[in-house]
Chains A and B, each alone.
Chain A
Amino acid sequence: MRRSRIASLLFALALPLSASAAELTVSAAASLTNAFKEVAAQFEKAQPGATVRLNFAASGTLLQQMAEGAPVDVFASADQATMDKAASQNLIDAATRRDFAANSLVLITPVQDGPAIASLQDLAGDPVKRIAVGKVATVPVGRYTQQALESARLWSALEPKFVQADSVRQVLDYVSRGEVDAGFVYRTDAAVMQDKVKIALTATGHTPVTYPVAVLRESGQKDLAVKFVDFLGGAAAQEVLGRYGFGKP
């Protein structure tokens, strides 16, 4: 009696393992959070039996996780540079790489008591005490911000005001709580918190924001992973991405 109970317990414990046969782990840039949750749900519907596990963080952090051997099947980055690094570290299957979305860089301020900003030069003014930017080393939006501010010859002058964030969503969080006076995020992030942040301007002078995706070389689910990458380029996923404000690559 007792033995059979233990056996059924072991069986129950083993169940999740056997169910993972069709489980896909997707590491995606933080800015894709809302859109990818919906895309993943649609993919699961289109592929009965498949489960998508989503892992969101700054692209550089995701790259580091994969370099350390994290079991990931698909990687979607918010910039080409991070995907290039993944390619040079031989982490991805280069043949599966493609761009699936585009975005733009915007400057946001808190809706409540935010400073009035009409140009990037206004950031140098006194009302702006703190500006949230992504960490340049790991967060793509930080590098786009650096390019935009360097084009405007403002980067080093503004540096004392910077508060570095771990991901674009942390920048959004800091601005929405009013702990900083301004921050650089993607247009799609600003849309997620329309009630708390407003777009002051759209930045220029940076490389275009495009999102590449690729299947990991060590993926144990290559077929399903390729299907997911194809699905991202399809009409259903593009409709979802468009609804969240992403452009076509």
Chain B
Amino acid sequence: MTNLLPAAFDWFPLTLSLKVAFLATVLALVAGVLLGWLFARKPFPGSSLVESVFMLPLVLPPTVIGYAILVAAGRRSPLGAWLREHLDYTLIFNWHGAVVASAVVALPLVLKSASAAFAGIDRSLEAAASTLRQSRWSVFLRVTLPLAWPGILAGTLLAFARAMGEFGASLMVAGSIPDRTQTLSMAIYDAVQAGENDLALVLVIVTSVLSVVILAVSNRYLSLR
């Protein structure tokens, strides 16, 4: 094993992948819980249509997501131009772009499980809490969220796994710039294209081991509840 990892092994793609997946999962978690609660508890006319739009990244090819982000935040887009002019900030060819792409792709997984979890809660428990002079916010934090948590957590772990494996949309938005935006999946793609099969093999093993560990830990955690 010590021979397998060359002395000059570049850990950057791995750490970047973990960083991107973690931040994307946090974004997807916050947005997914809020939207899931909204769709489960406060349906409005056309809300199922809006929910379907948020679920689209699960169905559409990642290239479509990548293209959509390029159109929405590219340098020539109104948003991209504004960010560049006022904040001197560009999302494209920046690792933040990979975070956004991964979050969009991972969002449906949190959203769906959160929405199902909220829908499955016994409303009388919340009603009981409300009678104990709890504010609505406090009821949400102390009763609703804990009851829905197992479902949300399961969705979040799936979202993290999906974000770790993100490739297509991130490649289009962030590019594959070594030591800046190159994630693990992009490093493998580049290594295979360049015929560096040894490097590709090492990276594949690293990814596989890491994924098995993440899945095993999450399975164990989930089955304990």
Contacts and interface: CB of A to CB of B under 8 A. Distances in A.
Our verdict on whether A and B bind, yes or no, reads yes
B175 A61 contact: no
A179 interface: yes
Given A163-B93, A164-B178, A67 B76 contact: no
A64 B200 CA distance: 13
Given A64-B193, A64-B195, A138-B194, A163 B75 contact: no
B193 A61 contact: yes
Q: Name B's interface SS.
A: loop
A180 B92 CA distance: 9
B75 A162 contact: no
Contact of B93 (A58, A67, A179): A179
Nearest to B174: A163
Interface in B193-211: 193-196
A180 B192 CA distance: 26
Interface residues of A, number: 21
B66 to A, nearest CB: 12
A165 B172 CA distance: 11
Given A60-B194, A179-B93, A164 B176 contact: yes
B168 interface: no
Contacts of A222: none
B68 interface: no
B74 interface: yes
Contacts of A137: 190, 193-194, 196
B177 interface: yes
A64 B76 contact: no
A178 B176 CA distance: 18
Interface in A155-195: 162-166, 177-180
Contacts of A143: none
Interface residues of B, number: 17
Given A135-B190, A137-B190, A179-B75, A164 B177 contact: yes
A162 B75 CA distance: 17
Interface in B49-107: 70, 74-76, 90, 92-93
B193 A177 contact: no
Contacts of A64: 192-195
Contact of B76 (A63, A162, A178): A178
A130 interface: yes
Nearest to A85: B195
A165 B90 CA distance: 18
A177 B190 contact: no
Interface string A100-134: 00000000000010000000000000000110000
Nearest to B194: A137
A126 to B, nearest CB: 11
Given A162-B177, A163-B93, A178 B193 contact: no
B190 A130 contact: no
20 contacts: A58-B193, A60-B194, A61-B193, A63-B195, A129-B90, A135-B190, A135-B194, A162-B177, A163-B93, A163-B177, A164-B175, A164-B176, A164-B177, A165-B175, A177-B76, A178-B74, A179-B74, A179-B75, A179-B93, A180-B93
Given A64-B195, A138-B193, A162-B177, 20 more contacts: A58-B193, A60-B194, A64-B192, A64-B193, A64-B194, A67-B195, A112-B76, A129-B90, A130-B93, A135-B190, A135-B194, A137-B190, A137-B193, A138-B194, A164-B177, A164-B178, A165-B175, A177-B70, A179-B74, A180-B93
5 A-B pairs with the lowest CB-CB distances in the bound complex, closest first: A137-B194, A64-B195, A178-B75, A179-B92, A163-B93
